[in-house]
């Protein structure tokens, strides 16, 4: 019996921090989501499903959830399309170039999300660098509207999240036997066929793992959509925030947050299951 004790004791401090910092607030949020709210009485403890019902039935929320997941899928696809080739090229570079490029790719992660997003705002605003330059050059007559668009959110999110894809794909590339490409070529395959039939399937697990990270981070992203999307283009995270701090309807905000969490968990888990099932026979 005794030898079972040390592992528990050793993981004890971490478990306590985990419980206090994560489990307790989550359970409280979950409880809160069943309470009621009105402007006159504030939050009252008559429990029920009404908050959930509101989210599920109101088309206002449908649109927000739809937008969130559309953005998530778009960002994930773009990250895969940009990140996978980027990782492949990175892997082929000489050491010196690779460190430099790696720094450039990981750069966005070193800057606070707020600062980085405000940087995008400076760039794409109506009086931003891009519009000023285009006006000056006479390419356009009036500023292009780029702020407060879905595209702006997507571009900025891709910028931040692509490093996760690159790192994830790069890890799988390290395990790739460089001779495998030569083998394919010597068997008569072209460069393109080698890429498509030999390299891509082997780095697919990395792309899928990276997609998972990017998708989850996009679906719960807050700062970027709130700055670049503004009031008009709400996503789930910004909606929950608004319910808490503007409407002061905490229970409804809690319900939205809970639904987002559960939806993300369901997506991530089923995706994981699919990937594991698909590649169990092929890779260790």
Whichever of 33 and 202 has its CB closer to other proteins, that residue is 202
Query: According to the binding rule CB under 8 A, does residue 38 interact with other proteins?
Result: no
In the complex, least distance from residue 132 CB atom to other proteins, rounded to whole angstroms = 49
Residues 6 or more apart whose Cβ sits within 8 Å of residue 221: 157, 235, 237
Under rule CB under 8 A, residue 177 binds other proteins: yes
Is there binding between residue 138 and other proteins (CB under 8 A)?
no
Comparing CB distances to other proteins, the nearer of 106 and 180 is 180
Do 226 and 212 meet the contact criterion of CB atoms below 8 Å apart?
no
Shortest gap between Cβ of 168 and other proteins (angstroms)?
A: 18
Structure tokens of 201? 């399937």
- Smallest distance, other proteins to C-beta of residue 278, A: 10
Measure the CA–CA gap between 273 and 280, rounded to whole angstroms. Answer: 10
CB of 79 to other proteins, least distance (A): 22
Paired tokens of 62: 């449908």
Centroid of chain to Cα 232? 21
Distance CA 44, CA 34 (A): 10
User: Percentage helix, strand, coil, to 5, in the chain?
Assistant: 75, 0, 20
Which CB, 80 or 161, lies closer to other proteins? 80
Binding mask 97-136 for other proteins (x = CB under 8 A): ----------------------------------------
Nearest CB to other proteins, comparing residues 144 and 189: 189
What span, in angstroms and rounded, lies between the C-alpha atoms of 213 and 88? 19
Asked if residue 17 binds other proteins (CB under 8 A), the reply is no
Contact flag: residue 282 with other proteins (CB under 8 A):
yes
Answer yes or no whether residue 96 interacts with other proteins by CB under 8 A: no
Q: Rounded distance, CA 69 to CA 215, Å?
A: 9
CB of 202 to other proteins, least distance (A): 6
**Is the Cβ of residue 31 or residue 200 nearer to other proteins in the bound state?**
200
Nearest alpha-carbon partner for 80 in 200, 241, 225: 200
How far from chain centre, in Å, is Cα 176? 27
User: What is the smallest separation between the CB atom of 175 and other proteins, expressed in angstroms?
Assistant: 9
Task: For the CB of residue 80, give the shortest distance to other proteins in the complex, in Å.
Answer: 18
Q: 260 with 43: CB under 8 angstroms?
A: no
Residues in contact with other proteins by the rule CB under 8 A: 177, 179-180, 182-190, 193, 197-198, 201-202, 204, 281-284
């Amino acid at each position: 019996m005794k030898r079972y004790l040390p592992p528990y004791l050793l993981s004890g401090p971490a478990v306590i921090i985990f419980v206090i910092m994560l489990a307790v607030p989550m359970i409280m949020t979950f409880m809160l989501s069943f309470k009621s709210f009105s402007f006159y009485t504030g939050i009252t403890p008559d429990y029920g499903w009404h908050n959930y019902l509101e989210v599920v039935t109101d088309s206002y929320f449908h649109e927000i959830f739809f937008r969130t997941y559309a953005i998530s899928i778009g960002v994930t696809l773009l990250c895969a399309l940009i990140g996978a080739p980027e990782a492949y090229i990175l892997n082929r570079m000489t050491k010196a170039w690779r460190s430099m490029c790696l720094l450039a790719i990981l750069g966005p992660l070193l800057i606070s999300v707020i600062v980085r997003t405000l940087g995008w705002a400076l760039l794409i605003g109506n009086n931003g660098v891009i519009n000023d330059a285009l006006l000056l050059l006479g390419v356009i007559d009036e500023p292009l509207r780029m702020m407060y668009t879905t595209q702006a959110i997507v571009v900025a999110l891709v910028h931040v999240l692509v490093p996760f894809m690159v790192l994830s794909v790069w890890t799988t590339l390290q395990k790739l036997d460089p001779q495998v490409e030569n083998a394919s070529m010597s068997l008569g395959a072209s460069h393109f066929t080698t890429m498509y039939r030999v390299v891509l399937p082997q780095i697919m697990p990395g792309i899928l793992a990276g997609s998972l990270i990017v998708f989850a981070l996009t679906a719960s992203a807050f700062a970027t959509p709130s700055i670049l999307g503004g009031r008009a283009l709400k996503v789930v995270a910004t909606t929950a925030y608004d319910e808490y701090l503007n409407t002061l309807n905490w229970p409804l905000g809690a319900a939205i947050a809970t639904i987002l969490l559960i939806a993300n968990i369901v997506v991530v888990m089923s995706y994981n299951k699919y990937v594991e099932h698909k590649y169990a026979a092929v890779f260790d």
